[in-house]
Amino acid sequence: MTTTRALLDEGVDRLRAAGFETPRLDTELLLAHAIGVERTAVVANGEAPAGADAEATFRASLARRADGEPVAYIRGIKEFHGIALAVDKRALIPRPETERVVDLVLAEVMTRLTARAGAGTTEPLRVVDVGTGSGAIAIALAVGLRARRVPADEVAIAAVDLSAEALDLARENAVGHAVGDRVRFEQADLLPPTPPTAPWDVVAANLPYVRSSAMASLPTPTTFEPAEALDGGPDGLTVIARLMDALPDGLAGDGAAFLEIGADQGEAIVALASQRLPGWACQVATDLAGLPRTAVLRRPVA
């Protein structure tokens, strides 16, 4: 019987020889997935036999990884903002940088709920995740609000995408996290034409922002993801610019929009906002590495 350590060594050697950046992490994740245990258990029990079925599954996974397929698609799972989301080729694999958008939107929603407390408001806050993909932002937000004991009827969350396949996956994830009652899914081009009763209070969006000319040189794992989730047009900001155009009508007077951008698009997004939304405030929030990652747009106070 082959031990887990022998399989780990085999996997690391194969992925290292193929030039992968994180051969040990990838191998541990794939072997743990094949055996059906946590990664730490694989590392801690090197002398344990893996079992014939797990060995065959692991070798098949390793071959897929060696061909460049992302580990998340092979495992069918990606951790995002403290939750595990199902992922497959129907949608982009959620990235760690998008957790920043969730944090900013959660803080915004909690501030607004606190400000409204005692004001006798019965209408829910209306939040929309535009380009939801796997449902990452909307579902993490719903889970975060539930953890903060915010009743489901205080915040109405909508999640939209152009892709029907992505929306199917997002619905499955919402059910998996028991927030199907907190998130409404809809197929739409950017903002749905008629918000339920009034404009949106908070817009969150991680839309495509890769320049079309850069699509051909994306790293191999990224080529397994849907192109329409990545291609942001000639300047990378074409889809985001269209969303900006929809904000004057779609966003409430005191609303706010949180848009993820590429790490090299900080200056470009400020210039675009001043062009498309003259007079609006556009602040760019940075990530932990100090890189510009989220544009926050607010209408001027009348």
Instruction: Name the residues that contact ligand SAM, by CB under 6 A.
Output: 91-92, 94, 98, 130-134, 136-137, 160-163, 166, 189-190, 206-208, 228-229, 239
228's tokens: 């329409």
Do 292 and 209 meet the contact criterion of CB atoms below 8 Å apart?
A: no
Q: How far is the CB of 153 from ligand SAM (least distance, A)?
A: 24
Q: How far is the CB of 159 from ligand SAM (least distance, A)?
A: 9
Q: Which amino acid is at 57?
A: T
49's tokens: 């036999």
User: What does the DSSP assignment read for 255-283?
Assistant: EEEEEE--TT-HHHHHHHHHHHSTT-EEE
Q: How far is the CB of 134 from ligand SAM (least distance, A)?
A: 6
Name the residue nearer to ligand SAM (CB basis): 58 or 185: 185
Name the residue nearer to ligand SAM (CB basis): 248 or 253: 248
Q: How far is the CB of 147 from ligand SAM (least distance, A)?
A: 20
Long-range interactions of 216-219: CB distance < 8 A, separation 24+: none
Name the residue nearer to ligand SAM (CB basis): 96 or 151: 96
135's tokens: 């449902």
Q: How far is the CB of 3 from ligand SAM (least distance, A)?
A: 37
Do 210 and 240 meet the contact criterion of CB atoms below 8 Å apart?
A: no
Name the residue nearer to ligand SAM (CB basis): 42 or 92: 92
Name the residue nearer to ligand SAM (CB basis): 98 or 265: 98
- Element holding 125 (H helix, E strand): strand 125-130
CA distances from 37 to 26, 34, 66, 200 (A): 15, 8, 22, 43
Q: Reduced to 3 states, what is the DSSP secondary structure of residue 259? A: strand
Q: How far is the CB of 290 from ligand SAM (least distance, A)?
A: 21
Name the residue nearer to ligand SAM (CB basis): 23 or 131: 131
Residue with tokens 């191998």: 27
